[in-house]
A and B are shown apart, each in its own frame.
Chain A
């Protein structure tokens, strides 16, 4: 009898809490995978400067290294998800949150980031700068 009562109470509790727990888990919204974006016009960036652009719903860092060379990376720091920036004086990529630095190949130079930044391909198409995922 006590088993039946205990089982009934447990089943009731499970039926109350299961929907609540499922409700708390946000639905996975599938977003169209972005592989290429127009990051801006060539004239918008002077040599040795960088800017953050949208790459789908994530930020990307576009850097104009000199007159002809361009680089682009995921701007999400591999340490704790902050958004990195290009530093013109050191010519490195820097994360202000925990002082991590990356070189212009996306490799970690110093600080706590455990992985390099994902590098994107950059093409200049007429006046437009296009960045795309490699491979």
Chain B
């Protein structure tokens, strides 16, 4: 029996049991617009690929990790020093987490600059923003799990930022910490968030996000007319290109993990001073540096509260982009949105660098 016959028979056998016509339709007819901004389409796929890497390496790490104050640090050290290739798995997990958040930000800003948030793609934007929030949640909860000095104080600061929110802040902080202070209860809660609650929510949302993209097709920037755009087949043309990008991402990841293995630091001591040079992960550095700059009191308000309210309002207005970023006819307010996005990217870039060097 030839390979083609086996393929046809298998497809027929499966088709008699499950209706795969929709999938077949998708494979045969899905097209990708080809224009000056096509390269930005790859970033959603890279984000998905890195998410899959996180899933696999996360499951592997769970085989040895122990989420208690007494054992967490030692179990990660055991993974890195005693388990074969443990250092590689942990380094890939940590590097991939950082690359994932970076790529997710690039993906989000590419959507902003190509104005792909405009109707009817509001739900795609909203699900993407919630996914980005979940990724930051993964980063924040995962950062504590090795139970080292830096992660301990980062969690103290992070949960205290949550506690500063008006009205519901203290309740959220208690919910996150599992008590009044960061301790063993926080570690078990963050472990539960990191390996169960966030992955379940993220999987559901990724499914919804991808489904919307399949239903609505790829958005083309407003400066490219809807008719006359060159197209390429998704299978195999775009998919193979995406696969090459994934291979490249994997190579970068492997090189980073091998050349710069992720450090473990010192075991957390709740009765030690915060070490000099303490700073959060790079994706929280802009907010960290802003909080450093705000004076203790601005008029009658506490500076810290003002900063946190400002971040909240900024995030909310960004979430609502599909509603203020278009005019009554549903066309993108390109100048306004591009201007706001340039200011925001500049702020994030400059303050992240300042937070790192100062």
- Residues on A lying within 8 angstroms of B by beta carbon are 24-26, 29, 52-54, 57, 59, 75, 79-85, 95-99, 108, 111-114
Instruction: Check if B275 is an interface residue, CB within 8 A of chain A.
Output: yes
Please measure, in the bound complex, the distance between the C-alpha atom of A50 and the C-alpha atom of B277, giving whole angstroms: 19
Complex contacts, B160 vs chain A, CB 8 Å? 80-81
- Residues on B lying within 8 angstroms of A by beta carbon are 153, 156-157, 159-161, 164, 171, 174-175, 177-179, 181, 185, 270-278, 288, 291-292, 294-297, 302-304
Return 17 A-B CB contacts under 8 Å, by A number.
A26-B175, A26-B177, A26-B179, A52-B273, A79-B304, A80-B160, A80-B164, A95-B274, A96-B277, A96-B278, A98-B157, A98-B292, A99-B292, A111-B292, A112-B294, A114-B296, A114-B302
Q: Do B276 and A59 have beta carbons less than 8 Å apart?
A: no
Q: Do B156 and A80 have beta carbons less than 8 Å apart?
A: yes
Q: Which of A84, A98, A99, A112 contacts B273 (CB 8 A)?
A: A84
Q: A82 and B296 in contact (CB under 8 A), knowing A26-B178, A95-B274?
A: no
Please measure, in the bound complex, the distance between the C-alpha atom of A26 and the C-alpha atom of B292, giving whole angstroms: 31
Complex contacts, B153 vs chain A, CB 8 Å? 82-83, 97
Q: A83 and B274 in contact (CB under 8 A), knowing A108-B296, A112-B291?
A: yes
Excluding A59-B271, A84-B273, A85-B274, 8 further A-B contacts by CB distance (< 8 Å) are A26-B178, A79-B296, A80-B161, A81-B156, A82-B153, A83-B153, A98-B288, A114-B302
Complex contacts, B291 vs chain A, CB 8 Å? 80, 98, 112
**Count of A-B contacts judged by CB separation below 8 Å:** 79
Complex contacts, B159 vs chain A, CB 8 Å? 81
Complex contacts, B277 vs chain A, CB 8 Å? 96
Closest Cβ of chain B: how far from A106's Cβ, in Å? 14
Q: Do A25 and B272 have beta carbons less than 8 Å apart?
A: no
Q: A54 and B271 in contact (CB under 8 A), knowing A25-B174, A81-B157?
A: yes
Q: Which of A26, A54, A82 contacts B274 (CB 8 A)?
A: A82
Please measure, in the bound complex, the distance between the C-alpha atom of A54 and the C-alpha atom of B297, giving whole angstroms: 30
Q: Do A97 and B157 have beta carbons less than 8 Å apart?
A: yes
Nearest residue, chain B, Cβ from A27: B179
Q: Which of B181, B275, B292 contacts A57 (CB 8 A)?
A: B181
Complex contacts, A96 vs chain B, CB 8 Å? 273-278
Interface-centre pick from A24, A54, A80, A111 (highest chain B CB count, 10 A)? A80
Q: A52 and B157 in contact (CB under 8 A), knowing A79-B304, A98-B292?
A: no
Please measure, in the bound complex, the distance between the C-alpha atom of A96 and the C-alpha atom of B153, giving whole angstroms: 10
Please measure, in the bound complex, the distance between the C-alpha atom of A82 and the C-alpha atom of B273, giving whole angstroms: 8
Nearest residue, chain B, Cβ from A61: B273
Q: Do A83 and B296 have beta carbons less than 8 Å apart?
A: no
Q: A112 and B295 in contact (CB under 8 A), knowing A26-B174, A26-B185, A29-B179?
A: yes
Complex contacts, A75 vs chain B, CB 8 Å? 273
Closest Cβ of chain B: how far from A59's Cβ, in Å? 5
Please measure, in the bound complex, the distance between the C-alpha atom of A48 and the C-alpha atom of B94, giving whole angstroms: 41
Q: Do A52 and B272 have beta carbons less than 8 Å apart?
A: yes
Complex contacts, A57 vs chain B, CB 8 Å? 181
